[in-house]
Amino acid sequence: MTADLFENLDASAPIREQLAVGAVLLRGFARPRQHELVAAIQAITAQATFRRMFTPGGHQMSVAMTNCGEVGWVTDRSGYRYDAIDPDSGRPWPSMPPLLRDLAEQAAAEAGFAGFAPDACLINCYEPGAKMSLHQDRDERNMGAPIVSVSLGLPATFLFGGPKRSDKSQRYRLEHGDVVVWGGPARLAFHGVAPLADGEHGLLGRKRINLTFRRAR
């Protein structure tokens, strides 16, 4: 299928893949808005640049991050948390563009989670070799809201397991424009990203951008 054909896909009828009870992969859902999304990300990162944060144990993450929304997810030696202030600039995080909010709300509704109202969007930048170890998203106060994850750029291998770290993880190839939504019984599923393979994407070059929308408060 060509890029032009993808541009004309009807986002109201995406290709669906069930990952688990409460977890859905919407193939190509974000692709019709790819150019607007990239422009919005560029505007956000002009205000709050990507940075490689440190874990509480002192490990520098291989993935560069920034945020937009009412609060942003941060990690440093004092722990994992959400904060309304960008620690690098001392200013509030950039506001979440309506385009991003609408996309997250629509994807959540398509996956069966109507009424999702994200207040935080973590933006991850993966370069070749970067990865995300298996983890749970559990720093949010509202566990009733789903997680919405949008993939842009280079393809990635997404690992999706169960509520225990020891649960076997399934591997899914995420392409540019794919969106994964998980909540309900799958809300605390362990998930991660295998080391990113090198490549060249026509829109984003040698990188993958991931938008993760949460209801943090």
Tens digit of pLDDT for each residue in 34-66? 999 999 999 999 999 999 999 999 999 999 999
List, for residues 80-110, the tens digit of each pLDDT value: 999 999 999 999 999 999 999 999 999 999 9
- Distance from C-alpha of 200 to C-alpha of 204, rounded to nearest angstrom: 8
Cα distances (angstroms) measured from residue 192 to each of 90, 189, 211: 30, 10, 14
- Give the phi and the psi of residue 84 in degrees, each rounded to 5: -75, -15
- Of residues 139 and 7, which shows the higher confidence score? 139
φ/ψ of 174, rounded to 5, equals -100, 125
Could you tell me the pLDDT band of residue 142, with boundaries at 50, 70 and 90?
confident
Q: Taking the mean position of all CA atoms in its chain, how far away is CA 28?
A: 14
Mean pLDDT within 144-152: 98
Residue 12 scores a pLDDT above 80: no
**What domains lie within the chain, and their CATH numbers?**
16-214 (2.60.120.590)
Mean pLDDT of the chain: 94
pLDDT greater than 50 at residue 73 = yes
> What is the band of 13 on the pLDDT scale with cuts at 50, 70, 90?
low
